[in-house]
Amino acid sequence: MIEKLPFGRTGHMSTRTLFGAAALWSCTQAEADQTLDVLLKYGVNHIDTAASYGDAELRVGPWMKRHRQDFFLATKTGERTYQKAKEELHRSLERLQTDHVDLWQLHFLIDPNEWEIAMGPGGALEAFIEARDQGLVRFLGVTGHEIAVAQMHLRSLERFDFDSVLLPYNYPLMQNPQYAANFDKLLKVCQERNVAVQTIKSLARGPWGDKPPTRTCWYEPFEDQADIDRAVHYVLGRPGLFLNTVGDTYLMPKVLDAASRYQQTAPSNKEMQTMVETLGVEPLFV
């Protein structure tokens, strides 16, 4: 089984490997049900989806009718204004077939102009606070990608006391001194405030470039189980981090398998660097 840790200040003991429901973007319900059954096999108890993940909320919804009490359920909105964010939350609740979500997140909040709208008068943050007060959501978070994400999350935490953050974390990206320094600074603040830190892109081998995509994730992922093991164990080797699974239903069980065999020992930098050089790994964000 996969190790559980307190998900920040929420009081929930979440498996360190969370199910990233982007994998259900364009699945049939039968395919989704088969994928979700794998979560039960490994004891995963935390689902992270988003309004913008294609049909993912629709595919998770039927499961919530039967298993709502078994999962910490998170979703996201990319809307930046109060009214649109509020409307999207109610749409998400309907699609997820539930009367509340445990975590609602401002999705991909990186652009400074969008940040000012979301955090300002009439912005999405007002809808977030209202929804929490109404019991439609229990906790609030913020997510993002790209090199500037850690800095923007620090700015967001200065503006509001969010319960969680989400951002990329993998070996190639952490070789960027600027990103590593900002990530470390963010992690320190989150640990001091008991804010949950979720990570994404653990399996990123690099951009697809000219290669035709063979998986549903937007980047080229690792495929071999040994490489997946190293990538997953690298993330889990950092105390306190949660790992969101890959956006591909074929690879997702391999991630859970790797997480279930983690023995509290991260691969060495030499092992990771050898893998990077052998496979020609490239960072997604530069």
pLDDT of residue 250: 96
**Residue 128 placed within a domain:** yes
Work out the number of other CB atoms within 10 angstroms of the CB of residue 178. Answer: 11
**Residue 30 placed within a domain:** yes
Q: How far is CA 152 from CA 155, 192, 240, 251, in A?
A: 5, 18, 20, 30
Quote the CA–CA distance of 127 and 117 in Å, as a whole number: 12
**Residue 284 placed within a domain:** no
Quote the CA–CA distance of 102 and 74 in Å, as a whole number: 6
Query: Burial level of 260, CB count in 10 A (0-12/13-18/19+)?
Result: middle
**Residue 286 placed within a domain:** no
Range of the domain at 263: 4-279
**Residue 210 placed within a domain:** yes
Total domains in the fold of the chain? 1
Tokens (6 digits) for 212: 């035709």
Question: pTM of the entire structure?
Answer: 0.98
pLDDT of residue 178: 97
**Residue 166 placed within a domain:** yes
**Residue 39 placed within a domain:** yes
> What does the pLDDT profile of the chain (286 residues) look like in tens digits?
899 999 999 999 999 999 999 999 999 999 999 999 999 999 999 999 999 999 999 999 999 989 999 999 999 999 999 999 999 999 999 999 999 999 999 999 999 999 999 999 999 999 999 999 999 999 999 999 999 999 999 999 999 999 999 999 999 999 999 999 999 999 999 999 999 999 999 999 999 999 999 999 999 999 999 999 999 999 999 999 999 999 999 999 999 999 999 999 999 999 999 999 999 999 999 8
Per DSSP, the three-state class of 238 is coil
**Residue 129 placed within a domain:** yes
Instruction: Find the CATH number of the domain harbouring 88.
Output: 3.20.20.100
Paired sense of beta strands 137-143 and 101-106, if any: parallel
Quote the CA–CA distance of 212 and 261 in Å, as a whole number: 32
